[in-house]
Amino acid sequence: MEVKFKIFRFHPKRDKAPRYDTFKVEASLNDRILDCLNKIRWEQDGSLAYRMSCAHGICGSDGMTINGVAALACQRLVKDYDYAKEILIEPLQFFPVVKDLVVDMTRFFQGMKAIHPTIEQNVSTTKGRKERKQTVEEHAQFEDAIKCIFCACCTASCPVVLEEEPEFIGPAAVLRAQRYIFDSRVKDALDRMKIMEEPHGIWSCKTYFRCTKVCPKRIKVTDAILQTKSRILRELHPDTP
């Protein structure tokens, strides 16, 4: 079966404006979009740029926009799309393009760093050679958040980031903060909650749920954000009605 791909191309150092190239690929219904991109790069145009590594939804490097929705190319199959028409492949939104489908993730990782206190407590350190025990229930409080693979699909889809407040640290960063704030071994949770209240922090989230819809690891990102908001209100603003 022949499948057509319309792919965003742009080399900012060389091109005046982006363009789209169309490629035809022999593919089957269960081929992954990443397989098709690999065929294009290996057999038709070696200059096509995109990131990939594990090809199994683990490394988070091949986040891109497929038919308008952020996704991992290695997790999406040809049959997930209307393959009788062209499948449109574009870079993740919001981030500057380095080349073709490769984006500069600096802003994403700045958000991830911004959630930590200046002097951070090391969760993994064991005191007096004793392990730090945690019950299954305590661990379950942040189990969802540690599934995050830093793919940035959520941040590149969040309407606040895209349309209202580009400085917002983004859903993945708030989710990362939730992972520490709800970890029973962490002693600086209050400091971390205060950081969340800084401008462009947690209160910039308007609960649009877009992050949850696109997350390839099916993390309930918005629930984690809401949970963190409630905890901040309870612990930092107990008098709020």
Minimum CB separation of residue 83 from ligand SF4 in Å reads 24
Comparison of 103 and 158: residue with beta carbon closer to ligand SF4: 158
- Contacting range for ligand FES; rule: CB under 6 A; set: 58-66, 101-109, 113-121, 190-198: 58-66
Number of H helices, E strands in the chain: 8, 7
Q: What CA–CA distances, in Å, run from 61 to 43, 68, 91, 119, 130?
A: 22, 18, 12, 29, 37
Instruction: Provide the mask over 192-211, with x wherever binding to ligand SF4 is found by CB under 6 A and - wherever it is not.
Output: -------------xxxxxxx
In angstroms, give the least distance from the CB of 173 to ligand FES.
Answer: 19
Query: Closer CB to ligand SF4, residue 44 or residue 53?
Result: 53
* Separation of first and last alpha carbons in the chain: 61
The residue (of 72 and 219) whose beta carbon lies closer to ligand FES is: 72
**Site size toward ligand FES, by CB under 6 A:** 12
Residue 160 contact partner, candidates ligand SF4, ligand FES, none, CB within 5 to 8 A by sort of partner: ligand SF4
Give the other-Cβ count within 10 Å of 148's Cβ: 20
Q: Which amino acid, residue 7?
A: I
CA–chain centroid gap for 183, Å, is: 21
Q: Which of these segments, 48-56, 86-94, 136-144, 206-214, binds ligand FES (CB under 6 A)?
A: 48-56
In 3D space, the residue among 177, 213, 169, 170 whose CA is nearest the CA of residue 194 turns out to be: 177
Q: By CB under 6 A, name the one of 5, 60, 89, 169 that touches ligand FES.
A: 60
Residues 6 or more apart whose Cβ sits within 8 Å of residue 47: none
The item of ligand SF4, ligand FES, none sharing an interface with residue 72, based on CB under 5 to 8 Å by kind, is ligand FES
189 binds ligand FES (CB under 6 A): no
Residue that has been written with the tokens 């050679």 in this structure: 129
Q: Degrees (nearest 5) of the Cα angle 52, 53, 59?
A: 100
Point out which residues bind ligand FES (CB under 6 A): 52-55, 57-62, 72, 74
